[in-house]
């Protein structure tokens, strides 16, 4: 029994969502793959899958075995990569997970240039704003805004995250402009709710060397960052936006900032990848490309374009 081949078939079956799709992906017949999984289960003496006429799903033991199988395959890949490192070329598939708004607004405009530069790389992109277990899901690279807490991961900072409180020009003409946090509750607000936790994002303002969170109430609650800007531009109230969402709306004059920006301590936009002795060339070149392109667009690990607004508030 070729255990290594069966391990790969098992992992691909999980990632493809079933035996038929996995068999097609691996160039095998469904019956060959199904029999292989049966042999593996017989060898292990426990069931990996719950089987029905419509689908297969992992047993509890199968879920635990998946983590180990992925680790074994990853370590084997790393071993082979170290041997080939002297003449390694950036090629192959990269599984990338992106936050929805940042991915659309900052990353997608760069991908054509990246693929032109590295035509042998294939990108598999997924978009969501929730926590993703990179090791469990076999993801090579994640871009996330916030703070890094998982010590199994390495983070390269692309930029800070700057927040701006904004409103539509017509709204301010009709309703006036708050100049302090004490006046926030006099206005309707468009607020963001995290899908995964259900938590409402507070409005955050600097308070000396610290920061203060405010809950001014809400007229609208959304779970999509770009919807915040859209509703704000329609004149429906105030909102607080991260710089990467606010940029194009401010540039077009559809919304304007009403108070100086706030940069929360410890927040940033990061390229994140699993800790490895050897980082695959395909991932390394994508990380370096992202850093270079973000810097070419006027941002870095220490600044964003929002700092250009700072002089306007000092006048």
Residues contacting residue 46 through CB under 8 Å, at least 6 positions apart: 59, 61
pLDDT value of residue 53? 64
- Write phi, then psi, for 297 (nearest 5 degrees): -90, 10
pLDDT value of residue 312? 52
Output the DSSP codes for 62-116. HHHHHHHHHHHHHHHHHHHHHHHGGG----EEEEEEE-HHHIIIIIHHHHHHHHH
Residue 90's region, left for phi above 0, alpha for psi from -120 to 50, else beta, is beta
Within a 10 A sphere around the Cβ of 120, how many other Cβ atoms?
10
Task: Note whether 226 and 101 are within 8 A (CB).
Answer: yes
pLDDT value of residue 314? 47
Q: What domains sit in the chain, N to C, each tagged with a CATH number?
A: 3-85 (1.10.10.10), 91-160+266-314 (3.40.190.10), 163-257 (3.40.190.10)
pLDDT value of residue 11? 93
pLDDT value of residue 85? 62
**Which of 177, 180, 183, 202 is CA-nearest to residue 191?**
202
pLDDT value of residue 120? 92
pLDDT value of residue 295? 93
The residue written with tokens 């690279």 in the block is 141
pLDDT value of residue 165? 95
Q: How far apart are CA 65 and CA 47, in angstroms?
A: 10
Across the chain, which has 315 residues, the per-10-residue mean pLDDT values are 87 89 90 91 91 80 92 86 67 93 95 95 92 87 83 88 95 92 90 87 81 83 94 96 95 93 88 82 93 92 86 47
pLDDT value of residue 315? 43
pTM above threshold 0.85: no
């Amino acid at each position: 029994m070729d255990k290594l081949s069966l391990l790969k078939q098992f992992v691909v079956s999980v990632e493809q969502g079933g035996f038929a799709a996995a068999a097609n992906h691996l160039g095998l017949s469904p019956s060959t793959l199904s029999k292989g999984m049966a042999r593996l289960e017989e060898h292990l003496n426990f069931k990996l899958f719950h089987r029905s006429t419509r689908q297969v799903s992992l047993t509890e033991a199968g879920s635990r075995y998946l983590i180990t199988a992925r680790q074994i395959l990853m370590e084997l890949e790393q071993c082979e990569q170290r041997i080939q490192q002297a003449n390694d070329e950036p090629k192959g598939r990269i599984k990338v997970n992106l936050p929805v708004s940042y991915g659309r607004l900052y990353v997608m405009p760069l991908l054509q240039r990246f693929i032109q530069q590295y035509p042998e790389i294939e990108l598999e992109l997924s978009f969501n704003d929730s926590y993703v277990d990179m090791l469990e899901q076999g993801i090579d690279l994640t871009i996330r805004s916030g703070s890094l807490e998982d010590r199994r991961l390495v983070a390269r900072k692309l930029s800070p995250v700057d927040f701006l409180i904004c409103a539509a020009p017509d709204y301010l003409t009709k309703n006036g402009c708050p100049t302090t946090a004490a006046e926030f509750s006099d206005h309707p607000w468009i607020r963001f709710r995290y899908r995964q936790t259900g938590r409402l994002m507070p409005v955050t303002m600097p308070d000396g060397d610290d920061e203060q969170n405010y809950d001014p109430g809400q007229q609208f609650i959304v779970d999509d960052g770009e919807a915040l800007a859209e509703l704000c531009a329609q004149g429906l109230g105030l909102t607080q936006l991260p710089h990467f969402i606010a940029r194009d709306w401010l540039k077009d004059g559809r919304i304007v900032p009403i108070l100086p920006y706030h940069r929360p301590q410890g927040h940033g936009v990061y390229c994140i990848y699993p800790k490895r002795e050897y980082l695959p060339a395909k991932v390394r070149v994508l990380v370096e490309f992202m850093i270079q392109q973000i810097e070419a667009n006027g941002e870095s690990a220490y600044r964003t374009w929002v700092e250009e607004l700072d002089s306007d508030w000092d006048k």
